[in-house]
C-alpha cells in the first residue's frame, strides 16, 4: 500500500506500515539479526501477534501505557509493536536505571505492564510496592522470579492477529526528553507522526532499500535509534542488527566485521572514539555505504578524523523527542561541514528572537520547527507544553543561525551561549577550535564568572593518550584558539579531565561542568 505522508488515512495503526504490510513475500527474509540468531519477518510478525495476545490477557486496554526496560534484543521489537497493535501506548527507557528512577517512570507513565530484562529486575523489585497501577511484570532473557517469563508466555499463547483500529491522531508512543532540567518528561506522539517522518526523511533522504543491513550505537529506547535501526529499515524491507551490550569501539567494529552492515547510526562522541581507536584501522568498512550522526553537532575536525579512519560518509542532522526524528540534515552529495544541513522536505524551520520574530540570515536565535510529526504535549507539563508547542510550531531550546543558502548552524542550547564583552560566543565554535589541536581528544566549553562578575569561557579538555597536562599546554591551547578565532572567544581557563561527564544518550552534561 502506497501512503502519502500529507494525506494519511484516518484509520492508521503504525504496526501495519512498519511491519505487517511488509511481511507478504518477505516471510523468510531477515528482519532482525543478532550474534545468536536471525529473526525473519514472518517470525517477528508471529511474535508480535503472540505478544498481543499475552498483553491483552494480562489486562492491557487501549490507551494504557506499557513500559519497556530492555536492551537492544528482538524482544524489544515484538513488545513495542504488540503494545501499539493492541491499542496501547509504548514507552521505553534505558534498562540501566536507579531504583528511584524506575519508581518515577512507572508512576509517571501509570504503566499497566512492565517488560523488563532479567538483568534489570533487581532494580525493579524494591519499588513495585510503590507502583499500585502496575498489573504485571514480564521478564525477558532470564529467570523471572515471581513474575511471568516473556518468552514462555509467547510460546504458550495463541497468536492474536487483530489490529486495534487506531485513529491516525491517537496517542501511540511516548518519547522521553533527556531531562537536562529536572526529571525526564514525555513527549506524547500520535500514530501518524512516525509514518510522516519515515516517508519524509527516513526512506527518501537516507535511501533505505531491502538490501540494507543497519547497525546502531544509540539504543532502541531512544527515538533516534528507534527510527533509524528499527522502523525505517522494516518499512523498507531491510534488516536491523541488534546487540545488547553497551557499545564500545571494539564491540562496534566486531559487529561491522561479523555482520557487514551497510548503514550505521551514531553520535559525534562515538565517531570520535572510533576514529581514535586502533581497532578502527584494522576493520574493513567497505560495506558501509553511509553513517548518520545526531544528538550533538558534529565538528568539522571530528568529521575529518572519522573519514580518515573509516572512509564512510557521515550525514549530520538534528531531530528531537518533540518532533520524533530528524528534520534538518546534510544529504548525500550535499554535506556542508559545520552545518546541520537544510530542512527536510515536509518541514519548515525558522530562527527567531525571544519575541518570535524571524531573524535575518546570520543572526543567532531560537530554532522554531513545524511538521506533521510534532508531539501533542509534554505529559503533565502544561506550562512547558504551552512554551514549546505554539500552534503548529515547536519552539526548541536550541540556538541556530541560518546562512543565505538555507543551511542551519547549531550554536548550542539557549543556556549554553555565552555573552563575552557584550558579544555572543558559541561554545561549539570554541570546542571545534580546540579539537583542531593534535593533543586534544575531546573538549567542552562553558561559562564562568571572573573576579569582576563578568562571564568568560572556560574549557574542559580530554587529552589524547601520551599527552601530559601541564600549565604550558594550557597556555598553548589558549594561544591556539586565539590564533583561529577572535581573541575574546579564547578560554580564560583550561581544565584537564580524564573523561567528560555524559548522559546515557552520550551528551556532555555541561550543567555538571558549570
Stated as kind and residue range, the H or E segment containing 149 is strand 148-149
pLDDT at 452: 66
The grid coordinates listed for 482 are 586565539
Measure the CA–CA gap between 104 and 501, rounded to whole angstroms: 23
pLDDT, mean of residues 300-320? 94
CATH number at residue 137: 3.40.50.980
Stated as kind and residue range, the H or E segment containing 53 is helix 41-57
89 shares its domain with 203: no
166 shares its domain with 223: no
pLDDT, mean of residues 140-165? 97
**pLDDT above 70 coverage of the chain, percent:** 97
pLDDT at 508: 84
Measure the CA–CA gap between 124 and 171, rounded to whole angstroms: 26
How would residue 447 be classed by pLDDT, with cut points 50, 70 and 90? confident
pLDDT, mean of residues 435-463? 88
Query: Looking at the domain assignment, is residue 10 inside a domain?
Result: no
CB 12 within 8 A of CB 167: yes
407 shares its domain with 433: no
- Strands (DSSP E) found in 363-488: 365-370, 389-390, 393-402, 408-413, 418-420, 423-425, 440-449, 455-463
How would residue 177 be classed by pLDDT, with cut points 50, 70 and 90? confident
Range of the domain at 474: 418-513
Query: Looking at the domain assignment, is residue 5 inside a domain?
Result: no
Beta bridge partners of 458: 446, 493
Interval 24-59: pLDDT, tens: 999 999 999 999 999 999 999 999 999 999 999 999
| Final residue of a structural domain among 413, 441, 476 | 413
How would residue 296 be classed by pLDDT, with cut points 50, 70 and 90? confident
Query: Rg for the chain (alpha carbons), in Å?
Result: 23
75 shares its domain with 104: yes
* DSSP string covering 271-313: HHHHHTSHHHHTS--TT--EEEE-SS---HHHHHHHHHHH---
For residue 182, pLDDT over 70 is answered with no
Query: Looking at the domain assignment, is residue 3 inside a domain?
Result: no
CATH number at residue 386: 3.40.50.12780
Q: How many domains does the chain have?
A: 3
3 state DSSP class of 406 = coil
Residues 6+ apart with CB under 8 A from 152: none
Query: Looking at the domain assignment, is residue 229 inside a domain?
Result: yes
The grid coordinates listed for 463 are 587529552
Interval 382-438: pLDDT, tens: 999 999 999 999 999 889 999 999 999 988 777 677 777 666 788 888 999 999 999
Stated as kind and residue range, the H or E segment containing 327 is strand 326-329
CB 316 within 8 A of CB 297: yes
Residues 6+ apart with CB under 8 A from 441: 272, 276, 461, 462, 463, 464
CATH number at residue 450: 3.30.300.30
pLDDT at 418: 79
pLDDT at 183: 83
65 shares its domain with 95: yes
Query: Looking at the domain assignment, is residue 343 inside a domain?
Result: yes
Q: What is the mean pLDDT of the chain?
A: 93
How would residue 180 be classed by pLDDT, with cut points 50, 70 and 90? very low
280 shares its domain with 237: yes
CA distances from 362 to 317, 403, 485 (A): 19, 6, 17
pLDDT, mean of residues 186-201? 98
Measure the CA–CA gap between 443 and 441, rounded to whole angstroms: 7
357 shares its domain with 208: yes
pLDDT at 208: 97
Measure the CA–CA gap between 350 and 159, rounded to whole angstroms: 48
How many beta carbons lie within 10 A of that of residue 465, not counting itself?
A: 6
270 shares its domain with 220: yes
CA 471 to chain CA mean position, Å = 38
Interval 260-285: pLDDT, tens: 999 999 998 899 899 999 999 999 99
| Final residue of a structural domain among 398, 413, 428 | 413
39 shares its domain with 173: yes
Q: What are phi and psi of 188, to 5 degrees?
A: -85, 115
155 shares its domain with 237: no
Query: Looking at the domain assignment, is residue 485 inside a domain?
Result: yes
Query: Looking at the domain assignment, is residue 269 inside a domain?
Result: yes
What pTM did the predictor assign?
0.87
Measure the CA–CA gap between 59 and 138, rounded to whole angstroms: 13
The grid coordinates listed for 448 are 564562568
DSSP tag of 508: B
pLDDT, mean of residues 332-359? 94
Measure the CA–CA gap between 31 and 71, rounded to whole angstroms: 17
For residue 181, pLDDT over 80 is answered with no
Query: Looking at the domain assignment, is residue 1 inside a domain?
Result: no
| Final residue of a structural domain among 390, 413, 436 | 413
409 shares its domain with 423: no
Interval 228-245: pLDDT, tens: 999 999 999 999 999 999
Residues 6+ apart with CB under 8 A from 505: 178, 218, 222, 267, 295
Q: How far apart are the first and last CA of the chain?
A: 52
CB burial class (10 A; 0-12, 13-18, 19+) of residue 282?
A: exposed
116 shares its domain with 217: no
Amino acid at each position: 500500500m502506497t501512503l502519502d505522508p500529507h494525506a494519511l488515512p484516518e484509520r492508521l495503526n503504525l504496526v501495519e506500515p512498519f511491519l505487517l504490510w511488509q511481511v507478504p513475500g518477505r516471510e523468510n527474509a531477515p528482519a532482525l539479526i543478532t550474534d545468536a540468531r536471525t529473526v525473519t519477518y514472518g517470525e517477528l510478525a508471529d511474535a508480535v501477534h503472540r505478544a498481543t495476545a499475552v498483553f491483552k490477557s494480562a489486562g492491557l486496554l487501549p490507551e494504557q501505557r506499557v513500559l519497556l526496560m530492555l536492551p537492544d534484543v528482538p524482544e524489544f521489537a515484538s513488545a513495542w509493536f504488540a503494545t501499539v497493535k493492541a491499542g496501547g501506548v509504548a514507552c521505553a527507557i534505558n534498562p540501566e536505571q536507579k531504583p528511584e528512577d524506575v519508581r518515577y517512570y512507572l508512576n509517571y507513565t501509570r504503566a499497566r505492564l512492565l517488560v523488563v530484562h532479567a538483568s534489570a529486575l533487581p532494580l525493579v523489585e524494591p519499588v513495585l510496592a510503590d507502583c499500585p497501577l502496575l498489573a504485571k511484570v514480564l521478564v525477558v532473557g532470564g529467570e523471572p522470579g515471581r513474575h511471568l517469563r516473556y518468552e514462555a508466555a509467547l510460546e504458550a499463547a495463541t497468536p492474536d492477529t487483530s489490529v486495534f483500529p487506531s485513529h491516525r491522531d491517537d496517542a501511540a508512543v511516548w518519547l522521553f526528553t533527556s531531562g537536562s532540567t529536572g526529571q525526564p518528561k514525555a513527549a506524547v506522539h500520535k500514530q501518524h507522526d512516525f509514518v510522516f517522518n519515515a516517508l519524509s526523511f527516513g526512506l527518501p533522504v537516507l535511501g533505505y532499500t531491502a538490501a540494507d543491513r543497519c547497525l546502531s550505537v544509540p539504543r532502541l529506547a531512544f527515538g533516534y535509534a528507534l527510527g533509524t535501526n528499527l522502523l525505517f529499515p522494516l518499512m523498507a524491507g531491510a534488516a536491523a542488527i541488534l546487540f545488547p551490550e553497551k557499545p564500545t569501539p571494539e564491540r562496534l567494529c566486531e559487529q561491522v566485521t561479523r555482520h557487514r552492515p551497510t548503514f550505521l547510526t551514531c553520535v559525534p562522541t562515538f565517531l570520535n572514539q572510533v576514529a581514535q581507536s586502533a581497532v578502527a584501522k584494522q576493520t574493513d568498512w567497505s560495506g558501509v555505504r553511509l553513517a548518520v550522526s545526531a544528538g550533538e553537532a558534529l565538528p568539522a575536525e571530528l568529521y575529518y578524523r572519522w573519514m580518515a579512519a573509516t572512509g564512510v560518509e557521515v550525514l549530520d542532522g538534528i531531530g528531537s523527542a518533540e518532533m520524533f526524528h530528524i528534520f534538518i540534515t546534510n544529504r548525500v552529495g550535499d554535506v556542508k561541514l559545520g552545518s546541520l544541513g537544510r530542512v527536510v522536505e515536509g518541514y519548515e524551520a525558522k530562527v527567531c528572537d525571544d519575541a518570535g520574530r524571524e531573524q535575518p540570515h546570520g543572526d543567532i536565535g531560537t530554532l522554531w520547527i513545524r511538521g506533521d510529526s510534532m508531539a501533542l504535549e509534554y505529559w503533565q507539563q502544561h506550562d512547558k507544553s504551552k512554551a514549546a508547542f505554539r500552534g503548529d510550531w515547536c519552539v526548541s531550546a536550541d540556538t541556530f543561525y541560518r546562512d543565505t543558502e538555507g543551511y542551519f548552524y547549531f550554536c548550542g542550547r539557549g543556556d549554553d551561549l555565552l555573552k563575552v564583552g557584550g558579544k555572543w560566543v558559541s561554545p561549539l565554535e570554541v570546542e571545534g577550535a580546540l579539537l583542531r589541536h593534535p593533543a586534544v581528544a575531546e573538549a567542552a566549553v562553558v561559562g564562568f564568572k571572573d573576579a569582576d562578575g563578568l562571564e568568560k569561557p572556560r574549557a574542559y579538555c580530554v587529552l589524547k593518550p601520551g599527552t601530559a597536562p601541564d600549565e604550558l599546554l594550557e597556555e598553548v591551547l589558549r594561544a591556539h584558539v586565539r590564533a583561529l578565532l577572535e581573541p575574546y572567544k579564547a578560554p580564560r581557563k583550561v581544565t584537564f579531565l580524564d573523561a567528560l561527564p555524559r548522559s546515557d544518550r552520550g551528551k556532555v552534561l555541561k550543567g555538571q561542568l558549570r
